[in-house]
Amino acid sequence: MAVKIKTQYGTIDITNEVIATVVGGAATDNYGVVGMASKNQIRDNVNDILRRENYARGVVVRQEENGVAIDVYIIASYGTKISEVSRSVQAKVKYNLETMLGVTANSVNVIVQGVRVLAD
């Protein structure tokens, strides 16, 4: 499925993969986020941090009546306050979706799949 935006010149279709890439970039840009995690770690057999081209594996986009609902799966950095990191991710994802794509995020759910210690 895709988000359809109607303009005076026609329609714009934005696929879920594009939304997932924007969401993944916004999430990993926050302090305290080590990277994106796969939403199905057992099925994907992936316990590693996802690269930019695989952000769609760590984001779930659900279409709603007047916007989208987003689930973001992240790996947090050890020693950071996870609740603050999650709030920061929620705010940045919502802002980026509205400014870059013109899509309203009704909800942004952050699921912390793991905690990693960063080497100095």
pLDDT in tens, 5-35: 888 999 888 888 889 899 999 999 999 998 8
Can you give the pLDDT at residue 102? 87
Tokens of 72: 């973001």
Question: What is the per-residue pLDDT for 3?
Answer: 79
> Can you give the pLDDT at residue 23?
92
What predicted TM-score, i.e. pTM, was given to this entire model?
0.84
* pLDDT of the residue at 47: 58
User: For position 87, what pLDDT does the model report?
Assistant: 96
**Alpha-carbon distances, residue 48 vs 6, 21, 59, 75 (angstroms):** 39, 18, 15, 9
Pick the CATH number of 16-116 from 3.30.530.20, 3.30.70.1350, 3.40.30.10, 2.160.20.80: 3.30.70.1350
Amino acid identity for residue 8 in this structure: Q
For 8, other C-beta atoms within 10 Å of its C-beta total 4
Parallel, antiparallel, or unpaired: how do β-strands 105-116 and 67-77 relate?
Answer: parallel
What pLDDT is stored for residue 45 in this prediction? 54
Low-confidence ranges of the chain (pLDDT < 50): none
